Chains A and B, each alone.
Chain A
Amino acid sequence: MKKFSLLNNFLYILFATIVSLIYLPILVMIVFSFNSSKYQIMPFRNFTTTWYQRVLTDSQYIEGLSNSLIVSISVSLFATLLAFFCAYSLVNSNFKGKSFLNLFFLTPLVVPLILIGISLRFFLTSKGYEPSLFLVAIGQSIFVMPLAILNLSNRMSQIPKNLEEAAWSLGSSRLRSMFEIVLPSCKFSLIATFILTFTFAFDEFIIAYFLTNFSITLPIKIWTSLVTGFDPAINAIGTIVFLTSLTLGLISQILFLKK
Chain B
Amino acid sequence: MTFFFIFPIFHTLRLSFLDPNTGVFTFNNYFAFFSKDIFYDSFFRTLKLSFFVISFSVILAFPLAYFICFVVKKKFRTLALLILVAPFWTSFTIRAFSWQLILSDKGLVTWLINKLTGYEVKLNFLYTMNASIFGLTLFGVMLITLLLFNSMITIDKRLLEANSDLGGNKFTEIKNIILPLSLPGLIIGSVLTFIIAVGDYAVPTLLGGGFKPVLAQLMLSTIKGTFDLNTAATMAILLVIVIIIACIPLLSLIKQIRFEK
A159 at the binding interface (Cβ < 8 Å): no
Quote the shortest CB–CB distance from A252 to chain B (angstroms). 8
Inter-chain CA distance A21–B83, complex, in Å, is 12
Classify the interface of chain B: helix, strand, loop or mixed. Answer: helix
Tell me the residues in window 77-96 of chain B with beta carbons closer than 8 Å to chain A beta carbons. Answer: 80, 82-84, 86-95
Inter-chain CA distance A226–B219, complex, in Å, is 20
Interface size for A (C-beta < 8 A) is 70
Inter-chain CA distance A8–B86, complex, in Å, is 24
Q: Give the residues in chain B near A3, CB-CB below 8 Å.
A: 170
B60 at the binding interface (Cβ < 8 Å): yes
A148 at the binding interface (Cβ < 8 Å): no
Quote the shortest CB–CB distance from B232 to chain A (angstroms). 7
The reply to whether A126 and B195 form a contact with Cβ atoms under 8 Å apart is no
The reply to whether B97 and A234 form a contact with Cβ atoms under 8 Å apart is yes
Interface string of A119-135 (1 = CB under 8 A from B): 11111101000000000
Q: Give the residues in chain A near B106, CB-CB below 8 Å.
A: 41-42
The reply to whether B84 and A22 form a contact with Cβ atoms under 8 Å apart is yes
Given contacts A14-B63, A110-B191, contact A205 B93 (CB under 8 A): yes
Given contacts A43-B111, A114-B201, A245-B91, contact A226 B64 (CB under 8 A): no
The reply to whether B243 and A112 form a contact with Cβ atoms under 8 Å apart is yes
State which of A23-31, A87-95, A168-176 sits at the interface with chain B. A23-31
Interface string of A5-34 (1 = CB under 8 A from B): 001101110110011011111101100100
Query: Which of B60, B95, B202, B250 touches A25 (beta carbons < 8 Å)?
Result: B95
Inter-chain CA distance A111–B236, complex, in Å, is 11
The reply to whether A122 and B12 form a contact with Cβ atoms under 8 Å apart is yes
B182 at the binding interface (Cβ < 8 Å): no
Q: Give the residues in chain B near A8, CB-CB below 8 Å.
A: 71
Classify the interface of chain A: helix, strand, loop or mixed. Answer: helix
Nearest-neighbor residue (CB-CB) of B61 within chain A: A18
Nearest-neighbor residue (CB-CB) of A14 within chain B: B63
Q: Give the residues in chain A near B141, CB-CB below 8 Å.
A: 18
Nearest-neighbor residue (CB-CB) of B258 within chain A: A99
Quote the shortest CB–CB distance from B61 to chain A (angstroms). 9
Residues of A within 8 A of B (CB): 3-4, 7-8, 10-12, 14-15, 18-19, 21-26, 28-29, 32, 40-43, 103, 105, 107-116, 118-124, 126, 138-139, 141-142, 145, 199, 203, 205-206, 209-210, 219, 222-223, 226-227, 234, 238, 241-242, 245-246, 248-250, 253
What are 9 A-B contacts with C-beta separation under 8 Å?
A11-B66, A14-B67, A15-B64, A119-B11, A219-B93, A226-B97, A226-B206, A245-B89, A249-B90
Since A7-B170, A141-B4, A249-B90 are in contact, a sample of 14 more A-B pairs with Cβ atoms closer than 8 Å, ordered by chain A residue number, is A11-B64, A19-B84, A25-B95, A40-B107, A108-B5, A112-B195, A113-B199, A118-B223, A124-B8, A241-B90, A241-B94, A242-B90, A249-B89, A250-B86
Residues of B within 8 A of A (CB): 1, 4-5, 7-9, 11-12, 15, 60, 63-64, 66-68, 71, 80, 82-84, 86-95, 97-102, 104, 106-108, 111-112, 138, 141-142, 170, 191-192, 195-196, 198-202, 205-206, 216, 219-220, 223, 229, 232-233, 236, 239-240, 243, 247, 250, 254
